[in-house]
Every structure is written in structure tokens, then in C-alpha cells.
Structure 1
Amino acid sequence: MTIWSHLHAADVPAWTELTNLLARVDRTEEFYDAEDLAEELSEHGFTAERDSWALWEGDQLVGYGQLRVRESHDGEVKIYLAGGIHPDYRRRGLGQQLMDQMEARGVEVAQERHRGAPAVWAVSGGVEGASVRPMLERRGYAIVRYWNEMKRWVTDEPVTVPEVDAVLISPTDEHQEATRLAHNEAFRDHWGAGPRSVAEWSDTWTARSNRMPLSTLALGADGSVLAYVLVGQWVPEEAYINLVGTVPTARGRGLAHAALLRTVSLAHGYDYVALDVDSASLTGATRLYEKAGFAQAKVTCSYHRALPAIP
């Protein structure tokens, strides 16, 4: 008999085990340490008792779900649904039941926080052939975006960082707010992106996975953040670039390119540097990364389904 509850701190070891199993079976390669998942339970705007689900068979965690909410710059609300079912317990209707509960909670959140705003449920479709895709399509979801995961292998060859009209440095805590403001400005014209509040950005900036010594800021003469590359680490061999951006007024000056290469030059001891990019980016981000030596490793997709109108 499956027992339904919510994720708690005591569940983190079992949650970690299931998450990393799914990363292998579903070929997402999204691995997490227990400490990283524990942080997610205290994220701003997330209440585990209402926004998470845990499915148990005896003392084994066989499924979990999470819900997060973000508002886009265009006013659309995105309700992100994430989770998974242990491969030995699939095709028993648990995934459908989990989606039913997460979608219902999404409607509640839209009513509570964003009444009258257009809203969508958003779910990752994983890689081609992922078992979740047929289920999502039966529920009325459709692919809205493809994402390119790109990698650059770290070698002994020196990395040349071009000179630019900016100072390239690794960020410190004093740059937290300036980088938040730069990010909100840089991503204003990016599909699906939304403004980060001070509290949300604090979660991002202070996460244990961050690797600020590998990250790079491009500062103007007045000390303002013009471009940034922020790096995290979840597995020993990979330096993962979480965010890359340039404020609109500084685009076309090669700042992000130089910042990327500086970060690559600092990635000694890693096998490769990786990132994900919107395949239809209006700023030509894929070309930027290819110029910096990155090559496509795999493709994932995002599914959306519009919520019914909420008066």
C-alpha cells in the first residue's frame, strides 16, 4: 500500500537515493548530494507541507514531487512541477495521481497569489524517449522549448582570455545585490524568465553548490556589473554554469565571451564545464558558447499546459 505524505528533513537520505537513481535511469544526469536537497526544503516561497509530496512503500521512498512558482517578465505565472517515480513502481498510476495532486495545488497557488494572471503548468520532458513524455501529452501538455546542454572539456592547453573594456573578477558577497539587478535586467528579454526578488536571489547566491572562485563578473569603470558567469558544482567532475548574462546596454562588447573563457581557465581539476541554453535564444547564446569552445552534448525539452482561467 502506498502511503502519501510530504517531504521532511528526515526524508532527505531516501530522497537523495531516489533522485540519483532517476538521474541514471532517465538519463538526466542531474545528481544531488543530500545537503543540496536539504536546502531546497527551506527555499523562499516553498512550503514543504503544501508544495511537496512523498510516496512510500513501507520504508522505501518510491516517488516524490515538488512545486515552485515563478512570475515571468511578461506577467505569465509558471508553476513548475518536478519529481519522479521509482522505475520498479511505474505503470501503476502513481505518476498520474501525483500529477493530479500537483496540478490541483498549482491552481490553489494561482488563486492565492496571482489571481487574474495567465498561468501555465511547466514540466521538464527530459531527453528524447523519456517515459514521462507520453504521459504528459495524454494530459494535454505540449513541448514549448528545447534546451541544448553543452560541454567544454578541460585540457592542459592554455585558455586565452581576450582583453575587454571591463574588469574581470570572481564575485564576493559585496556583489550580491548588484549581480541580482544585472541579472534581472539581462534576462528581461529572455523567454520564460522573470525577476528575482532579494529573498529568491539570496537562496541562489548562498547555495552550498555555488563555486564563486570559478565564477566571473565583468565590472564597469563605476563598479557596476555588466556581465556575469555564475558556477555551481553537484558532481566532482563537472563545473556547471548556472547563469550567464549581459545587461542590454553592454551587449556586443565581448564581455560574456571573456567572462566565460576566464571561468574555463579557472576550472583546473574538473573534467569539463557544462551549461544549458535555450535553443531558440534571441540573443544567439548558442553561438556565443560555440565560439567559447562548447559543443552540444544532449537536448532536453520543456512542456507547458495552460491553467483554466481563474476569475
Structure 2
Amino acid sequence: MDPVFVPLTAADVPAWSDLTTALARVDGTDEFSSAEDLAEELAEDGVRPELDTWALHERDGSTAAVVAYGQVRVKADLLDGRAVAVLGGGVRPDRRGRGIGRALMDRIEVRARELAAERHPGAPVVLRNAGGLETDPVRGLLTHRGYALSRWFVQMERDLPAPSAANAPPQPAAGYRVLPFAPELSAGTLRARNAAFADHWGSTSTSEAEWADLTGARSFTADCSFLAVAPAAGPRPSDPDGPIEAGVVGSFCLAQDWQDGPVYLALIGTAPEARGRGLARACIAASLDAAARQRRPDGRPRFTRAVLHVDADSPTGATRLYEGVGFAAVKTFGTFTREVPALDA
């Protein structure tokens, strides 16, 4: 019998979180998501849960467990003339091997092409799916459906350093100040993000709505996020350093808090015209120092280590930068892609 999938709803969020926790533990990804984080995903700009999500329920006594889920998003911008559809999902380990994943992918792929046709009429589509670690059983399903391993991403970690005795974060090259993330600098940080990642594999521009979702999320940790800022060109204001809202963001290190223990450095980058000046290194050092200072109400450290992911073939040599500030590779993830024609071609 074909599995009966229904859209994910707010009522599913606790059971959905339980499923992602089980998958993270069994598959070794450490990609844990709280119920609050998942509720935000359902409310993200452009997501229609009734069309773009799936859940398979089973009764477990008096409660309904989510034993499989799926999601699809289509990027707002084209990539080399192609629409990019990002597919996600998972099947509870004790329910694998029953055709659930195959049935789920049938639905996700159809919706991905429909959504791509709505947003980018006539454009061919790149279906992108995270392949997890090398041992992840989803890889067999993906390759059977015509997906190919396209890119490796490396998870790197380090213990947090002892907090610096200095009150101010380290400063990079002359002309820049390292400042904590602030709402006044959000638009400038978005511009720097889009410039920094324009030459990265698989990257499209982040829209203002997507940026608002990211910086407004529960997980976003502004007090551990730092920017390298230069005064804007033009007449100098009375303040010799200039007001921060007038500054130009050259580099950034944005942090998130997903689970107890690690601070996640989610976005690190430098605009092309500002590279080679030590800006990213200074932002990372400031973020690590701030994270090391964070304490929980009972006095325990809020964070004990830092985690990030990096493209193994990053054109900026980011892996070397992170090794230089104490990070070491611990896991390697694969990304799989498949190209399909436009639904309306």
C-alpha cells in the first residue's frame, strides 16, 4: 500500500523534532532541530506547508508519531540560468527499506518542478539534496534516481579559547573596525554576503525576505556575530570613526545556537574587494571570544566548542583560514544534484 502523506502542520512540530533528533543520532550528522526552529521553517517567506511539505504519521499509543517527512524550497534567483530546488527529508531508521523514501521523493520531485515553473517559467531545474555522511543510506536512493555526487562539504570544529583579557575584540587592517552585528548594519551585511558568495559553488543571492528570516530566527546569535566595518566614502562626520550605520561591511562572521554546547558559525565571508586584509580572521576571533564569555543562568558556559561547515573546494581557500584559527575537520558531507527540464518547457 502506498504511504499516505499529509502536509506538515504546527501540531506536528514536536513529533517532527523527535524524528530529526533520531535521524541526527543514528546517521551521525549532529543536525538537531528544536520544535521552535522547525515551527519557524513552516513560517518562512515563500513556504506553503500545504504544498511544500509532507509527513507520514503512525499511531504510537495515544500519540501520533511522524515517521517520515519531506520539504522543498526553490531559490529566488537563478543559478547559471537554472532554477535551484533544495530537497530535504528523512525516514525513521526503523521504517527504512519499505519504499517510504521512494514514495516521498516521487512527491517532492514533482512539487519541485511545479514550484520552479511558478517562480522561474521555462528554466531548467537543478534538484539538490544533501547526501549526508558516506554511510548514509539515502545515497543509494539518490544515485538510483539519477543524482550524482557534486560537492563535498567539511564539518570543522574546535574548542573555544579562553576569553581574551582585552575588552575590545581584535582589530584587522587599518580602516576597519570589528563591531558586533547590529540592525543598522543588517542591510550592509546582506550586500556583503551576496558579494562574498557570488563566486561560490551553488550559491545564489539571498533575498531581503530570506535575510529577515535568518536574522530574525530564534537560532540567530547576534551577540556572537561580528562584522568588519569601514567608514563610508565621502565627507567625514564629526565622529572620526563615523556612525556605524554609515559604514561599509567588508567581512562578517554570523553565529547561531542550535543545541547545547556548540556555537555554530553559520556564515563567514569577505566581499571580494576587501579580501587579503585579515578581516575574516578578525571577525572569527571576535565571535569565538564572545562565545567563550557567554554564560547560562546557573553560571555554566553557554558554549563549549565552535562548529562550521565549509566547501572542500572553496575558491577563497577558506579551509586553510579555519585551520589557521584552530579548526580541524571532523566529518565530510556530500551534496547530490540532478538536472531536469522545465516542467513548462
1:260 and 1:20 map into 2 onto residues whose CA distance is 29
1:20-99 correspondence runs (5 A): 20-58=21-59, 59-70=64-75, 71-99=77-105
In structure 1, what residue type is equivalent to 2:30?
A: E
Check conservation: 2:24, 2:31, Cα contact below 8 A.
yes
1:204 and 1:259 map into 2 onto residues whose CA distance is 19
Check conservation: 1:73, 1:188, Cα contact below 8 A.
no
Of 127, 132, 135, the residue aligned with 1:129 is 135
Check conservation: 1:82, 1:123, Cα contact below 8 A.
yes
1:36 and 1:273 map into 2 onto residues whose CA distance is 20
Match of 1:258 in 2: 282
Q: Structure 2: any 5+ residue segments left out of the alignment?
A: 233-246, 293-300
- What is the TM-score normalised by the length of structure 2? 0.87
Match of 2:333 in 1: 300
1:74: how far off? 2.9
1:66 and 1:258 map into 2 onto residues whose CA distance is 37
Match of 2:320 in 1: 287
1:117: how far off? 1.9
2:106 and 2:267 map into 1 onto residues whose CA distance is 32
Match of 1:176 in 2: 186
1:41 and 1:221 map into 2 onto residues whose CA distance is 38
2:40 and 2:199 map into 1 onto residues whose CA distance is 29
Equivalenced residue count is: 311
Q: Secondary structure of 2:187's partner?
A: helix
In structure 1, what residue type is equivalent to 2:281?
A: H
Q: Structure 1: any 5+ residue segments left out of the alignment?
A: none
Match of 1:120 in 2: 126
2:151 and 2:79 map into 1 onto residues whose CA distance is 17
2:145 and 2:172 map into 1 onto residues whose CA distance is 51
2:172 and 2:111 map into 1 onto residues whose CA distance is 50
Q: Secondary structure of 1:302's partner?
A: strand
1:116 and 1:69 map into 2 onto residues whose CA distance is 14
The answer to whether residue 201 in structure 2 is matched with residue 191 in structure 1 is yes
Check conservation: 2:171, 2:177, Cα contact below 8 A.
no
Check conservation: 2:52, 2:73, Cα contact below 8 A.
yes
Over the residues paired in the alignment, what is the CA RMSD in angstroms?
Answer: 1.5
2:67 and 2:323 map into 1 onto residues whose CA distance is 40
Of 195, 220, 226, the residue aligned with 2:230 is 220
In structure 1, what residue type is equivalent to 2:312?
A: S
In structure 2, what residue type is equivalent to 1:117?
A: A
Match of 1:245 in 2: 269
Structure 1 152/84 Cα, relative in aligned 2: closer, same or farther at 3 Å? same
Structure 1 254/73 Cα, relative in aligned 2: closer, same or farther at 3 Å? farther
Check conservation: 1:72, 1:192, Cα contact below 8 A.
no
Q: Secondary structure of 1:218's partner?
A: strand
1:252 and 1:297 map into 2 onto residues whose CA distance is 27
Q: Which runs of 4+ in 1 moved over 6 A?
A: none
Q: Secondary structure of 1:253's partner?
A: coil
2:276 and 2:78 map into 1 onto residues whose CA distance is 25
1:236: how far off? 1.5
1:155: how far off? 3.7
Match of 1:105 in 2: 111
1:164: how far off? 2.4
1:197: how far off? 1.2
Q: Secondary structure of 2:57's partner?
A: strand
- What is the TM-score normalised by the length of structure 1? 0.96
Check conservation: 2:172, 2:279, Cα contact below 8 A.
no
1:163: how far off? 3.8
1:78: how far off? 1.3
1:176: how far off? 1.4
> Percent of aligned pairs with the same residue?
44
Check conservation: 2:146, 2:338, Cα contact below 8 A.
yes
Deviation sequence 1:50-86 (CA, Å, 0-9, x none): 0000001222211000101113553332111101001
1:230 and 1:172 map into 2 onto residues whose CA distance is 11
